[in-house]
């Protein structure tokens, strides 16, 4: 009985200690300072930002840096792989390769899964569905050219989790 009471007391003390502190009370504005009225000659001129604010782009999924300073974004959309292409400023761009190949281990049996990543104009999209759990390495080969003249131009190994 004493152990149950001790456990309850410890849990209560832990919850009280981890509770968030109340936010500080906002102080009222100083009545001695009055806001400037428009057209008031004593008012300070409005400051203008001469610097343009840069937009920070984020790459969805797993980010893969490329040797040419650009980036790839690999994600599973629905049940297929989507490999998106981004420039050095992480802005989306059209694929600069013809197609890609992807290979990943079969987590439920023998052998590997394989798919061709074909272009839809904005990204390379796989045809083979990907089954969870997503905890493995995927091997990606990017190809340039058509048919038998296609050459592997880039290879990546990416850990998916």
Q: List the structure tokens of 159.
A: 């850990």
CATH number of domain containing 155 = 2.60.40
Number of domains the chain contains: 1
Phi, psi of 58 (to 5 degrees): -115, 145
- Domain assignment of residue 103, yes or no: yes
Residue 156 pLDDT = 95
In a domain? residue 89:
yes
Domain range for residue 80? 62-160
pLDDT of residue 41: 56
User: Looking at the domain assignment, is residue 135 inside a domain?
Assistant: yes
Question: pLDDT under 50 in the chain at which residues?
Answer: 20-24, 26
């Amino acid at each position: 009985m004493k152990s149950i009471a001790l456990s309850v007391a410890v849990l209560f003390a832990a919850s009280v200690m981890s509770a968030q502190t109340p936010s500080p009370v906002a102080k009222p504005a100083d009545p001695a300072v009055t806001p400037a009225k428009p057209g008031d000659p004593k008012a300070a001129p409005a400051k203008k930002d001469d610097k343009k604010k840069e937009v920070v782009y984020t790459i969805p999924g797993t980010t893969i840096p490329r040797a040419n300073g650009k980036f790839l974004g690999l994600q599973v959309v629905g049940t297929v792989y989507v490999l998106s292409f981004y420039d050095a400023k992480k802005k989306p761009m059209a694929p600069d390769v013809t197609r890609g190949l992807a290979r990943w281990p079969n987590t439920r049996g023998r052998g590997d899964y394989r798919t061709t990543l074909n272009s839809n104009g904005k990204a390379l999209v796989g045809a083979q569905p990907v089954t969870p759990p997503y905890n493995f390495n995927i091997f990606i080969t990017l190809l340039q050219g058509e048919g038998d003249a296609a050459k592997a131009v880039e290879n990546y190994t990416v850990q998916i989790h």
